[in-house]
Amino acid sequence: MRIMIKGGVWKNTEDEILKAAVMKYGKHQWARVSSFLVRKSAKQCKARWHEWLDPSIKKTDWTREEDEKLLHLAKLMPTQWRTIAPIVGRTSTQCLERYEQLLDQAANGGASGSGGSG
């Protein structure tokens, strides 16, 4: 018996299939959506949508105000990225990655503050 392990890097075609399936079935039918993607589980489809493909995700450069808010919230709620994310208006992954960038910049003498990837 062969065991199929789902996963791997998302392909562009898989992203397009995921987008179409979400448009047809909505954001609460992940088992149905994942049935169109043999290499992906319902959990993987949900995560891909909420962390990358959802059109409401802000993908512009970070502003100074967003950076300041992120740093302030990270001090109040260390490692609680899922709580911080909606307050800042970004995904939890974006918040964590930006926070790490800001820490690296501070450690390297405060290189360019805003304009990081998002």
Burial class (CB in 10 A: 0-12, 13-18, 19+), 118: middle
Give domain status of residue 21, yes or no.
yes
25 with 48, same domain: the answer is: yes
Cα angle, residue 52 at apex, residues 85 and 23 outer, rounded to 5° = 115
105-115 per-position pLDDT tens digit: 999 886 555 55
17 with 46, same domain: the answer is: yes
96 with 75, same domain: the answer is: yes
Domain housing 30: 12-53
Domains contained in the chain, number: 2
Query: What is the model's pLDDT at position 89?
Result: 93
Q: Which residues, including other chains, have CB under 8 Å from residue 22's CB and lie 6 or more apart?
A: 33, 49, 53
8-29 per-position pLDDT tens digit: 899 999 999 999 999 999 999 9
Residue 16: CATH number of its domain:
1.10.10
Residue 64: strand, helix, or coil:
helix
45 with 69, same domain: the answer is: no
Give domain status of residue 30, yes or no.
yes
42-91 per-position pLDDT tens digit: 999 999 999 999 998 999 999 999 999 999 999 999 999 999 999 999 99
- What is the rounded CA–CA span in Å between residue 32 and residue 34? 5
47 with 68, same domain: the answer is: no
Residue 45 contacts residue 34 (beta carbons within 8 Å): yes
Give domain status of residue 36, yes or no.
yes
Give domain status of residue 118, yes or no.
no
Distances from the Cα of 101 to the Cα of 34, 50, 98, 106, 114, angstroms = 33, 22, 5, 9, 10
